[in-house]
Chain A
Amino acid sequence: MPDSLNDPDTQSLSQKPPEPDQPAADEMKVSFLRTNRGIGIGLLVIVGILAASIYFSDWAGRILRDGFMLGGFPLLATGFMAVASLILVFDGQARQVDPDVARFRLVSLVIVLAAVAVLGVGFLSIPIIGFVPMIFLLVGFGAVTLGYRPVWLAFVVAIIVALVMRTIMYWLDADIDDGLLLKLIMGDGNG
């Protein structure tokens, strides 16, 4: 059960006995940043910067017709975020480390950002490459990169997904670009 993973006795990395050598000291440093307290402090810094940027903005202090300050609610929200972060820093679970946080490596962040970048670039390339080819490429190469085999089946699924999605977009009357290639083949006026 997931609960067992959340058991404070099994997950607290910060409770590891310290060792005298340098790598262990580094690990302790990393471990603190992964505890609820470490994350809470990080969040406090971010929330502080956010609150300051709102407070010193030219719009936040503006008083509206009903006497309410325009920045009132955004500042209230940052206040709540700060309180939640403070609770993380000081409550009974402050020294705990969530198992997923403990397993987190920089490579995970790189993977996430790379995936998001590929999706973003893929979407922005639709006007050039076209909707169907781009969805085909994203799904097909995505599946193969992740290890799906056989390769031909990945691309068969990809073309089916692309065509089904194009049909749905047509049906939703969405403004979709079929790309320069198809425009050249079909002439003006499609898409």
Chain B
Amino acid sequence: MVDVASLMEALSIVFTLKTMLWLLLGVAVGVGVGAMPGMSPAPAIALLLPLTFTLSLPATLGLLIGVYKGGVYGGSISAISFATPGTAESGATVIDGYKLMQRGQGKKALHMALYASVTSDFLSDVLTILLAPTLALVALNFGPSERLWLMVLAIALLGALSGDHFAKGFLSAAIGLFIGTIGSDPVSMVSRNTFGQWWLAGGIHLIPLIIGLFAVATMLEKLVEIIRERALEAHEKVVSKAGPLSVDSEGLTFAEYKSCWKEMAIGTGIGSFVGILPGLGATVGAFLSYGVAKQLSPEKKIGSGRLEGIAAAEAGNNATCGPTLVPLLAFGIPGSTIAAMLGGALAIQGVVAGPRMFELYPAAIYALFLILIIANFFNLFVGRFFAGIYAKLGLLPVTLLVPVVLVMALIGGYAYENNPFDVGLVLIFGVMGYFLRMFKVPEAPLIITFLLAPMAEESLRRALLINRGELVPALFGSWLAIVLALLTLSLTVLLARSQINRRVQNLGG
């Protein structure tokens, strides 16, 4: 049922010049970040989070969702132009995109990537708008034990599905749980696990953690590569490979766009499903869509420089953007790092993401849905007219990028609460993130478990209180709790053994 008054309120706060400008800025920054190899939407959003303190809710949503959607699409620009995916999500786009580029059909390929991205993103946003409120209605009936198992299920899925190695995903989730316990316990607010440091009594905040793990760790990785003269050589290769981007070449015709409908449909379906599941993300969405499209239509020879290949891959990655918010909005459980950051941004604005958000902040929900949809049009505009300029960003020297981003990370960590200790945390988590990356430990389970830790503890303790301290009834008090527990166990074992991420990437090859 549509709440007309809230919808009107949302329309009035979204369709303002200020919100539209922030959204446009978000998309413009996002496409740029995506087009730059070595940067991705996650560190960019991490760096922009402190900026949102001074913004209104719709402006915040516009900026961050714009960066996210623009970033996922932007990766295709350098993937097609230089065979260097700006983001991991665009890895599958390189296969056909760069071959088209070499044949002088780069403009056509760039247009296909843009239109497939925007089409699938739009359709998956519609699905998100339909699905999230329906699931939220179900979630409202959950008690503390069901909520606890739902969180455990999400963590288990994240651990099992993130990265190539189950143990590393699980380790990441456990580290997140540990960091989440630093500060004070969430019920009695008694100080604990502070290593004797008074400044840790308030706990660790999301922003220093995210900036450290994403922005600083990524740049430290680049820094080491540069100094060891690997990145520099790779960069020279990119420059020599790139050649001039032919802007005068022929663009995409409507007939060509229409001929890829099947691949876009595959990408939209698979991407949406993958987006809803915690832990998989846009990279898996792209490779899985690409692999399925290739196997379903062998006569199209996807992989030999075909527009259909670009359509499948780009539809597959962008279709995850909207649905990745479904677990956050319906259950209050972020299913991806980006969703966790958006949840954090909502919290900064005083809005708690979850099923009750639909009752308590209906205008915010409508505003979010509107921005999800409008961002696609901005993406279309920016991509259609400025892709050639963004392609040059792929040539931005990493030697300049690294010190700029590191300094931005440092100051972003400080600006959050004007707390110099947060800068220390940014640097500590940066070093930790560097080693996690080196050891291929995925960051997503860490961030999400960190966010869920206090909620899980609260739910467990509430369930124990309701059941007078009896653990078994507290954990398995209803059929739903038992089903969720069994589902958690069986899915964890099954997914850990199947190593889905590795198999999916093999499909693309």
Give residues in A with beta carbon < 8 Å to B. Answer: 1-3, 6, 36, 39-40, 43, 50, 54, 59-60, 62, 64-68, 70-71, 73-74, 76-78, 80-81, 83-85, 87-88, 91, 93, 98, 100-101, 104, 107-108, 111-113, 115-116, 119-120, 122-124, 135, 138-139, 142-143, 146-148, 154, 157, 161, 165, 168-169, 171-175
Smallest Cβ-Cβ distance to B88: which chain A residue:
A2
A74 and B181 form a contact (CB under 8 A): yes
Specify the main secondary structure of chain A where it touches its partner. helix
Q: A64-B185, A91-B167, A100-B440 are in contact. List 5 more A-B contacts (CB 8 A).
A: A2-B505, A68-B187, A76-B177, A115-B223, A122-B410
Specify the main secondary structure of chain B where it touches its partner. helix
The 6 A-B pairs with the shortest beta carbon distances in the complex, nearest first, are A142-B403, A80-B174, A84-B171, A77-B178, A87-B167, A148-B399
A67–B406 CA distance with the chains assembled, in angstroms = 45
Q: Name the A residues within 8 Å of B166 (CB-CB).
A: 87, 91
B438 and A104 form a contact (CB under 8 A): yes
Q: Name the A residues within 8 Å of B168 (CB-CB).
A: 84, 88
A123 and B420 form a contact (CB under 8 A): yes
Smallest Cβ-Cβ distance to B398: which chain A residue:
A146
A155–B304 CA distance with the chains assembled, in angstroms = 45
A148 and B54 form a contact (CB under 8 A): no
Q: Name the A residues within 8 Å of B404 (CB-CB).
A: 139, 143, 157, 161
Point out the residue from A60, A80, A165 that lies within 8 Å of B170, measured CB to CB.
A80
Smallest Cβ-Cβ distance to B169: which chain A residue:
A84
A172–B469 CA distance with the chains assembled, in angstroms = 47
B408 and A77 form a contact (CB under 8 A): no
Could you list 19 A-B pairs, sorted by A, with CB under 8 Å? A2-B505, A6-B440, A68-B185, A71-B192, A73-B177, A77-B178, A83-B174, A85-B167, A93-B167, A100-B438, A100-B440, A138-B407, A142-B407, A147-B226, A148-B399, A157-B404, A161-B404, A172-B51, A174-B418
Among B226, B399, B402, the most chain A Cβ lie within 10 Å of the Cβ of B399
A59 and B192 form a contact (CB under 8 A): yes
Question: Which of B108-116, B320-328, B424-432 binds A?
Answer: B424-432
B220 close to chain A: CB less than 8 A: yes
Q: Name the A residues within 8 Å of B50 (CB-CB).
A: 172
